[in-house]
Amino acid sequence: MAADRPAGTDGTAGTAESPLWRRVLLLVGLPALVWWGVLVGVGLALAGPLAFVADYEQGVDEALEAGRTPLMDEVTHWASRSADTATVVAGALLAGLLMRWAWKRWLPALVLWAGVALQSGVFLLTTLVVARPRPEVDRLDPAPPTSSFPSGHTGAATALWLGLALLVAGRIRRRRLRVLVVVLMLLVPLSVAASRLYRGMHFPADVTFGALNGIVAVLLVRHALAADSTGDVEQRPAATAGPPAAAAATPGPG
């Protein structure tokens, strides 16, 4: 549908808007590259000259290890599994298709998928450079081959559920219900971050910057695609002036 496509997506010259590839490069690619540089810089610092920070963070992981219970072991297991790669990909795909079916637009789905993909790409590129070790506690999950910094589970959960919350919020008119739904959605990445700490998989800084990675990815994509809270393309003055003029020029019946 034409309404689903930001102006300039056809890349033709003479339009008021920039071609889509240029918009994505300027509003997503370059800022994401800068953000990746920030993550790499922080990660290298924590793994190098600021490695002593881990001594303080280690106390948090040890305290959580000492307070483990069978019930919380089980709860955090499932919370952590909810942010596994396969689960996030399947969840994003299903949510996107449901939004397409319900709202008759592809743009909300594309915004969600792009945010999750961008988070994943920045995360993987960061772990290629940063090699921060994991906490020295009894870990309840197999350690992935990637670095402890940043937390990929936390980042993926944040990108998925924050992206969904922003898209769904604009579709709920009742304020209390909107707040309730958004809060419940945002509790998912928070529970994932807490579970990764509890299970000894990350330091606090790892989950903090993992969450920030997800937030940055979602906001960059939404800004680039000019999506408002409902996932629709923002209407610009040049675009909104067209329909009334066209309607006025249409001859009346008979």
Tell me the domain boundaries of the chain.
Answer: 42-234
The whole-number pLDDT of residue 26 equals 83
Burial profile 69-95: b = 16 or more Cβ within 10 angstroms, e = fewer: eeebeeebeebbebbeeeebbebbeeb
Burial profile 34-47: b = 16 or more Cβ within 10 angstroms, e = fewer: ebbeebbebbbebb
Structure-block tokens of residue 81:
């599994």
Per CATH, the architecture of 42-234 is what? Up-down Bundle (1.20)
The whole-number pLDDT of residue 138 equals 93
Enter the DSSP assignment of 2: G
Structure-block tokens of residue 92:
């994003």
The whole-number pLDDT of residue 84 equals 95
Instruction: State the pTM of this model.
Output: 0.80
Query: Contact at 8 Å (CB) between 206 and 46?
Result: no
The whole-number pLDDT of residue 18 equals 64
Query: Contact at 8 Å (CB) between 32 and 220?
Result: yes
Distance CA(243)–CA(108), nearest Å, equals 23
The whole-number pLDDT of residue 110 equals 93
Distance CA(192)–CA(51), nearest Å, equals 25
Residue (of 35, 19, 8) closest to 219 by Cα position: 35
Averaged in consecutive runs of 10 residues, what is the pLDDT profile of the chain (254 residues)? 45 50 81 95 94 93 95 97 95 96 92 95 95 93 86 97 93 92 96 96 96 96 66 42 43 44
Distance CA(65)–CA(202), nearest Å, equals 12
Direct distance between the N- and C-terminal alpha carbons of the chain, in angstroms, rounded to an integer: 31
**HSE, side-chain direction, 13 A CA sphere, residue 198:** 20
Residue (of 167, 170, 162) closest to 225 by Cα position: 167
The whole-number pLDDT of residue 29 equals 86
Residue 106 CA, distance from chain mean position:
18
Distance CA(208)–CA(21), nearest Å, equals 31
- Residue found under tokens 């010259």: 13
In the three-class reduction of DSSP (H, G, I as helix; E, B as strand; rest coil), residue 227 is classed as strand
The CA-based angle 225-226-231, given to 5 degrees, is 85
Distance CA(186)–CA(163), nearest Å, equals 10
Distance CA(209)–CA(188), nearest Å, equals 16
Strands (E), the chain: none
The whole-number pLDDT of residue 3 equals 47
